[in-house]
Structure 1
Amino acid sequence: MSFIKNYIEQQTLNRRSLLLLSAYGLCGMTTAATLGSGVARAAAQNPKIAWSYRDRTNPYWNSIVSGGEAFVRSLGKSTSDLINLINEGSSEKSLSDIKSLLSRYGSEVALAADPNDMPNCRPVVEAVSRAGAYVSTIWNKTDDLHPWDFGDNYVSHMTWSDVGPSEQTARLLFDAMGGKGGVVHLGGIASNNPAIERLEGFKNALKAYPNIEFLAVQAADWDTQKANQVMSGFLTRYGDAIKGVHCASDTMAYGVIEALRAEGIEDMPIVSYDGNPQAVELVTKGKILATVFTNPHWAGGITAALAYYAATGFFKPSAEPKEHREFYGPTTLVTTKDAQVFKTKYIDTNPTYDWKDFWSLGKGQIKYRS
C-alpha cells in the first residue's frame, strides 16, 4: 500500500515533466493558412498521429497512450512519433494545443482525443474539420453532436455504458455493508459523461437498499490528491456514520484509502472504476471490493487507428453504418473472486490486437436517453 503515498507525492513532479513533453511536442509550430472544409483532398500518405488527453501520471491515461504507442509501433514507427498533447484537465488548453497542431500540419493530422468535457468536443471537431484533418474522440461529447454530421473528418466517437457497471459495483458495496449504514460517493468532473453515468448507476442501486443512507456526494475531479482531501472532509463531518465508499475512478480510490489509513481505518468497503493495474492488485488483496475494466490499452490504440486509417484513405468513414461511427467500448467487472485470473490476462501483459479490426470489441451503437 506504500505505492499510494509514493503515487501522490510523485504526481506534482511528474506533471512538470509531462507539461514539458507537451510543450516539446508543439514547439516550433508556425502559423499556416487553415484549409476550408468541404474541399476534396487526396489521402494523406504519412499523417502526423497525435493523442490529446489529460495527464499521463494517471494510470488510466497512461494505459490509453500506451495503446496509442503500440499502434504507432505497428506501423513501423517509433514511439516518439506519437505527438502528446497534454491538457492537464483544461478544456481551453486542449483546444489551443489542437489548433496549434492543425496550424502547423493542416490536413496532415490524425488526432485521437478526449475533449476533457462535453462542451469542448464541438469546437475541437469543428477546428479539425475546417483543417481537413481527421479526429476520433472518446468519452466526452454532447448528445447532439454526431460524426456523420461532419462527413469523413469526424471519424468516430467511443464511450462506455457506465450506468450498469456502476450499479453493479454499488450493489457489491451495499451487500458488503450488510445492506445498511451510511455511504459517500466521490465523483469525477461534473461535466464529464462518465462522472454523470457512474453517479446515476450508484443512485439506481440505492433504490433496492432502503436501509443504506446516502450521506454525501462530492466531485474530486478524477484526482488522487483532491479525493484524499474530500474523503478527509467526509470523515470529519460524518465520522463513524460512513460504512462504505463508492468511487467513480480508481485514482480517486487511492486518495480515499490513504485518508482512511490516516484515521486508522483499514477495513472500510470501497469500490472503484477503470481497472487500473494498481487497483486490480488491491482487488486481489481485498483492499478494494471491485473495479470495472474498460480496456484502455485497446481503446487508446483503436482510437488512434481509426483516425489514422481514415486519414490515409484505408476506409471511408461516411460509408460506414452509424454503429461504426458512435459505439460503446467494452467493460468487465473485476472482483476479488476473479481478479488474479484477470490480472494474468490483461495486466501482467497486454494482449495483441489487430489495429485494423476497428470494432472487434465494440458493444454496439450509443443509445441516447430522451
Structure 2
Amino acid sequence: MSFIKNYLERQICERRQFLLLSAYGLGGMAVSSALKTKTARAAVQNPKIAWSYRDRTNPYWNSIVAGGDAFVRSLGRPSDSLINLINEGSSEKSLADIKSLLSRYGSQVALAADPNDMPNCRPVVEAVCSAGAYISTIWNKTDDLHPWDFGDNYVSHMTWSDVGPSEQTARVLFDAMGGKGGVVHLGGIASNNPAIERLQGLKNALKSYPNIELLAVQAADWDTQKANQVMSGFLTRYGDAVKGVHCASDTMAYGVIEALRAEAIEGMPIVSYDGNPQAVGLVAQGKLLATVFTNPYWGGGITAALAYYAATGVFKPSSEPKEHREFYGPATLVTTKDASEFKSKYIDSNPEYDWKSLWSFTSGPIKYKS
C-alpha cells in the first residue's frame, strides 16, 4: 500500500511542476484582440495538436495524455509537440488557456478537450469554432449542445455510459456486504456528467437491496486528498455503521484506503471506477472489489486523432452520421476474478491501436433522457 502514501505526497510535490507544464508552448503569449468569426477551412496542412484536461498527476489523465502522445508519435512527431493545457479543475482556466492557444495559432489548431464541467463546454466550443479551429471533446457537455450544430469544427463528443457500470460495481459491493449495512458514496465534481451518472448507478442498485442504507453522499471532486478528508469525516460521524464504500473514481478510492488504514480498519469492501493501473492492481490483490476500465489510453489518442484528421481534411465531420459525432466509449467491469488476466492484457503494456480506425471501439450513439 506504500504507493498510495507516495501518491498523496507526489500530488503535492508535482502540482507546481505540472502547472509549469500546462504553460508549455504558450509562454509569453500576448492575448490578442477579440477573436473574429472565421469560416471553417477544409484542410490544415500541419495543425498544432493540443490536449486540454484536468491534472497530469492523476493516473486517469496521465493515461489520456499518454494516448495523445502515442497518436502524435504515430504521425512521426516528437511527444513534446503535443501542447498540454492543464486546467487544475478550473473551468475559467480551461477557457482562458484555450483562448490563449487560439490567439496564437488561430485556425491551425486541432484540440482534444475535457471542458472540466458541463456549462464550460459551450464557450470552449464557440471559441474554437469562431477561430476556425477544430475540437473533439470528452465527458462533459450539456444535453442541448451538439457537434452537428457547429458544422465541421466541432468534430465529436465522446462520453461513457456510466449508470450501468456503476450499478454493477454497487451490486458487487452490496453482495460483499451480505446485502445489509450502511454504505457511503464519494462523488466527483457535482456538475460533471460522470459524477451524476455514477451516483445514479448506485441509487439504481439500492432499489434491489432494501437492507442496504445509503448513509451519506459527498463530493470529493475526483481528488485523493479531499477523498481522504471526506472519508475520515464519514468515519467520525458514522463509525461502525459504515460497512462499505462506493467511490466514483479510483483516485478517490486511494484516499479512502489511506483514511481506513489510519484508523486501523482492514477489509472494508470498496469499489471504484476508471480502471487506473494502480486500481487494477489493487483489485487483483483484493484491496478493491471492482473498478471499471474506460480505456483512457485509447480515448486520449482517438480524441486527438478525430480533431486532427478533421482539421487535415481526411474526413468531413458534417458528412458523417450522427453516431460518429456523439458516441459512447468502451467500459469494462474488472473484478477480483479477472483482474490479473486483465492487467496483463491492458495495463502491463498498452495495445497497439490503429488511430485511423476512428470509431472501432465506440459503443453506440449517446442516448438522452426524454
- Give the TM-score band, short-chain normalised: over 0.9
> CA separation in 2, counterparts of 1:226 and 1:209?
29
Instruction: State the one-letter code of the partner of 1:159.
Output: T
Q: Unmatched 5+ residue regions in structure 1?
A: none
Partner of 2:319: 319
How far apart, CA to CA, are the structure 2 residues paired with 1:234 and 1:34?
A: 48
- Aligned counterpart, 2:220: 220
Q: Could you say which residue in structure 2 is the equivalent of 1:96?
A: 96
Pairwise CA distance, 1:42: 4.5
Q: Which residue number corresponds to residue 84 of structure 1?
A: 84
Instruction: State the secondary structure of the residue aligned to 1:51.
Output: strand
Query: What are the within-5 Å matches in structure 2 for residues 248-259 of structure 1?
Result: 248-259=248-259
Query: Does the 8 Å CA contact 1:249/1:274 hold for their aligned counterparts?
Result: yes
- For 1:344, the equivalent position in structure 2 comes to 344
Superposition pairs of residues 4-15 of structure 1, within 5 angstroms = 4-15=4-15
Contact kept, 8 Å, 2:38 with 2:131, in 1: the verdict is no
User: Partner amino acid for 1:221?
Assistant: D
1:223-269: CA deviation from partner (whole Å, max 9, x where unpaired)? 00000000000000000000000000000000000000111111000
Question: What is the match of residue 21 of structure 1?
Answer: 21
In structure 2, how many angstroms separate the alpha carbons of the residues matched to 1:39 and 1:148? 15
Distance 1:54 1:165 in 2: 23
Structure 2 counterpart of 1:62, one-letter code? N
For these two proteins, the number of residue pairs brought into alignment is: 370
Residue matched to 1:112: 112
Give the structure 1 partner of residue 187 of structure 2.
187
Q: How far apart are 1:40 and its partner, in Å?
A: 5.1
Q: Shift of residue 30 of structure 1?
A: 3.6
Partner of 2:52: 52
Give runs of aligned pairs for residues 118-267 of structure 1, distance below 5 A.
Answer: 118-267=118-267
What displacement does 1:41 show? 2.7
Kept in 2: contact 1:32–1:106 (CA 8 A): no
Please name the residue that 2:39 is paired with. 39
Aligned mates of 1:31, 1:89 — CA distance in 2: 22
Runs of 5+ consecutive residues of structure 2 not aligned to the other structure: none
Give the AA of the match of 2:4. Answer: I
Report Cα offsets for 1:59-87 as digits up to 9, x if no partner.
00000000000000000000000000000
Give the TM-score, by structure 1 length.
Answer: 0.99
Instruction: Tell me, yes or no, if the aligned pair for 1:34 and 1:106 is still in contact at 8 Å.
Output: no
CA distance in 2, matches of 1:250, 1:233: 19
1:359 aligns with 2:354: no
- How far 1:13 moved relative to its partner? 1.1
RMSD, aligned α-carbons: 1.0
**Secondary structure class of the residue paired with 2:25:** helix
**Secondary structure of 1:24's match?**
coil
Task: State the TM-score, normalizing by the size of structure 2.
Answer: 0.99
Return the offset for 1:24. Answer: 2.8
Counterpart amino acid of 1:155?
Answer: V
SS at match of 1:25: coil
In the other structure, the counterpart of 2:277 is 277
Deviations 1:28-75 (A, max 9, x none): 324456664462535110000000000010000000000000000000
Aligned-residue offset at 1:219 = 0.2
Is the 8 Å Cα contact of residues 155 and 306 (structure 1) preserved in structure 2? yes
- When residues 42 and 161 of structure 1 are mapped into structure 2, their CA distance, relative to the original with a 3 A threshold, is closer
Aligned-residue identity in percent: 84
Instruction: Give 1:148 shift.
Output: 0.1
Give the stretch that moved more between structures: 181-190 or 42-51.
42-51
Residues 281-332 of structure 1, C-alpha deviations (whole Å, 9 max, x = no match):
0000000000000000000000000000000011000000000000000000
